[in-house]
A = this chain, B = another copy of it.
Amino acid sequence: MTPTFHDIQEAHKRIHSHIHNTPVLTCSSMNQMTDCSIFFKCENFQKAGAFKSRGACNVVFSLTDKEAKRGVVTHSSGNHAGALARAAQIRGINAYIVMPSTAPEVKVAAVKEYGGQITFCKPTLQAREKTAEQVITKTGASLVHPYNDVCIIEGQGTAALELIQDVKNLDFLFAPVGGGGLLSGTAITTRALIPNCHVIGCEPKNADDAYRSKQAGHIIPSENPQTIADGLLTSLGDKTFPIIQDLVDDIILVTEEEILRAMRTVWERMKIIIEPSAAVPLAAVFSNQLNLKGKRVGIIFSGGNVDLSQFFASLKKYD
């Protein structure tokens, strides 16, 4: 079943007291550089540092009391893990998070801070799925997929809803695409509210499964993709692909260098921290593949979780 815009409106009512209505920022030097008017929806300021809190809250607060009592489970080393642990903590239920033993310390700490119960496993998809299965057998917890889930898509579609409430007459809306939860939710919302607005998915060239899948008309997963945009390594699922195929106008690819340049420009000009995955849509705007002159362009800054350990270690100069 495909989510409707009405489902996304209901999701927003369900979650709005548990998430931030994040600010929409503008930046005059960005507008000068690109010759258009850009409106940045800052999900880097979202609870748990990413839009993932929207979908996670929508799933957790959609569970019946009986389901909720048994908890939720996921396997993830990314933003979804922290967001799900937080949502479960708010509802007062258990979150079982299966993480690869190689997960960055900062991600492990985030899950622990929100009271998530971590089970470590070998860093293979097989080990992760098997470990999650074991948790489910033992606890009866509900598995929450990070993107290929109708309830998750509905939650992620609320970011565009808030953006479009704040900013009128957008001509384009750019969002990153990994597994497609954010992009498909964004497309449903945008088509319903501003039918003529172009919805653009933005993807690293090094993880271009959404681009290739859309061209081919069927899902072609990425094999061992390597990109700095670590939130976009996943491939489309059978729930997200059809929505993207139907409602998204175009997918634009950007190089690793373009991603880093966009991210650095944001840090230096806007003085805000976005993660590499969040820089992908701005990189697409900078890449001039579409003529945006004079247009009103929305961009979803999807998250702001960056591992700063090395950077801060390098700053230690004096005792």
Contacts and interface: CB of A to CB of B under 8 A. Distances in A.
Nearest to A23: B23
A304 B256 CA distance: 26
Interface centre among A49, A267, A274, A318 (most CB of B within 10 A): A318
Interface in A297-319: 304, 308, 310-312, 314-319
B49 A304 contact: no
Interface residues of A, number: 31
Contact of A271 (B106, B228, B260, B304): B304
A228 B273 contact: no
Interface centre among A49, A276, A311 (most CB of B within 10 A): A311
A58 interface: no
B316 A264 contact: no
Contact of A311 (B271, B311, B317): B311
Interface of A: 44-45, 49, 106, 206, 226-228, 256-257, 260, 263-264, 267-268, 271-274, 276, 304, 308, 310-312, 314-319
Given A206-B318, A260-B316, 20 more contacts: A44-B271, A226-B317, A226-B318, A227-B318, A228-B315, A228-B316, A256-B316, A256-B317, A257-B316, A260-B312, A263-B312, A264-B312, A267-B273, A267-B308, A268-B308, A271-B273, A271-B274, A276-B315, A311-B314, A314-B314
